[in-house]
Structure 1
Amino acid sequence: MTEGTKLLASMLLTGVGATAAMDLWAIARRRLLGVPSLDYALVGRWLAYLPQGRFRHHPIAATPPVRGERALGWAAHYGIGIAFAALLFAGWGPAWAGNPTLGPAMIVGIGSVAAPFLVMQPAMGAGIASSRTPRPMAARLHSLITHAVFGLGLHASGRVAALALAA
């Protein structure tokens, strides 16, 4: 396996693993705290309406569903996780891939909360940083913690990928 192929495999494993860690956290949060998980069908619905020129919804749940929205939403969720792993690799390079450290992973993980705060939530009718939700501060805190878990997942998955691809 070439170094480029190893780097690409590491990036994919890191992104998928970190996204899975985020999903496991969502399951635990729902069971332990009663906080519902994001319905990725709504993400798929939002994406499906983009080619029609519709960016904003008030709220997305009131927009008519589209065929395949759940699969589209889940694929986008994992694709976005991989994209943030690519950002991490672009920022810290092959050296990080060979020896993943926590700091850069947390910078990217926590920094990734900007995407829902500034793009997804406003586009889906929840306002900037959940400002139009019944409990904006609680929603913001949950988002921040979830993205910190994503950062921990980037680090842990990066370590696993580095070990798996070291040979």
Structure 2
Amino acid sequence: MDEALRLLPAAVLIGVAATAFIDLWVLLRHRLFGIPALDFALVGRWLVHLARGQFRHEAIAAAPAVRGEGVIGWTAHYLIGIAFAAALLLVAGSAWLRDPRFAPALLTGLATAAAPFLLLQPGLGAGIAASRTPRPWHTRAQTLLTHALFGVGLYLAGRAANGMTLFG
């Protein structure tokens, strides 16, 4: 428990930075390729409905809107990024903070793709691993790429934090 509390500030910094890194990628992807971003208000809507006992929707956009869904969705997005960074740090330990390595960060990023494939996409009505979307393999590839880039963001944020000697 002491180790987890000691790593919490690093998890927050690294998780926020890595999440912002993928948000920048999503903006760039939209500008260059016209691929729309996930509407985090719909994530917030799903989370509120989930708290009320409804996991799966035919189409989350058709579900009743809830107050504050945008703030809820965006907040959840960043808290989840922090939780995934914390998972990396708990598995790799403080040694990773002293000398961040690319492979553990990338593997963590790729592993996080399980969350949208198995939880978010089915809950929103897109099916397991986007199976109910018009172009499932395209959606899967974008999910994997985004989560791989989350891993890159974890690595870069770890290197930057190490360079600032915040967590030595």
TM-score tier by shorter-chain length is over 0.9
Residue number in structure 1 paired with 2:76: 76
Distance in 1 separating the partners of 2:31 and 2:161: 29
SS of residue matched to 1:37: coil
1:87 maps to amino acid: A
Distance in 2 separating the partners of 1:159 and 1:137: 33
Residue number in structure 2 paired with 1:137: 137
Residue number in structure 2 paired with 1:117: 117
Residue number in structure 1 paired with 2:10: 10
Superposition CA RMSD, Å: 1.6
Distance in 2 separating the partners of 1:158 and 1:86: 12
SS of residue matched to 1:107: helix
Shift >2 Å, 4+ stretches: 3-8
How does the TM-score come out when normalised to structure 1? 0.95
Tell me: CA distance 1:5–1:130, structure 2 relative to 1, closer, same or farther (3 Å): closer
Is the Cα–Cα contact under 8 Å of residues 4 and 90 in structure 2 kept in the other structure? no
Is the Cα–Cα contact under 8 Å of residues 10 and 162 in structure 1 kept in the other structure? no
Is the Cα–Cα contact under 8 Å of residues 17 and 153 in structure 2 kept in the other structure? yes
Residue number in structure 2 paired with 1:55: 55
Is the Cα–Cα contact under 8 Å of residues 7 and 97 in structure 1 kept in the other structure? no
Shift of 1:8: 2.2
Distance in 1 separating the partners of 2:167 and 2:51: 42
Is the Cα–Cα contact under 8 Å of residues 44 and 72 in structure 2 kept in the other structure? yes
Moved more, 3-12 or 103-112: 3-12
Distance in 1 separating the partners of 2:13 and 2:51: 30
SS of residue matched to 2:73: helix
Deviations 1:61-99 (A, max 9, x none): 000110000000000000000000011001100000111
Is the Cα–Cα contact under 8 Å of residues 105 and 151 in structure 2 kept in the other structure? yes
Is the Cα–Cα contact under 8 Å of residues 14 and 154 in structure 1 kept in the other structure? yes
SS of residue matched to 2:93: helix
Distance in 1 separating the partners of 2:59 and 2:32: 27
2:143 maps to amino acid: S
Residue number in structure 1 paired with 2:158: 158
**Percent of paired sites with the same residue:** 55
Tell me: CA distance 1:80–1:144, structure 2 relative to 1, closer, same or farther (3 Å): same
Distance in 1 separating the partners of 2:21 and 2:157: 9
1:96 maps to amino acid: W
Shift of 1:148: 0.7
Shift of 1:4: 7.4
Shift of 1:10: 1.4
Long gaps (5+) in structure 1? none
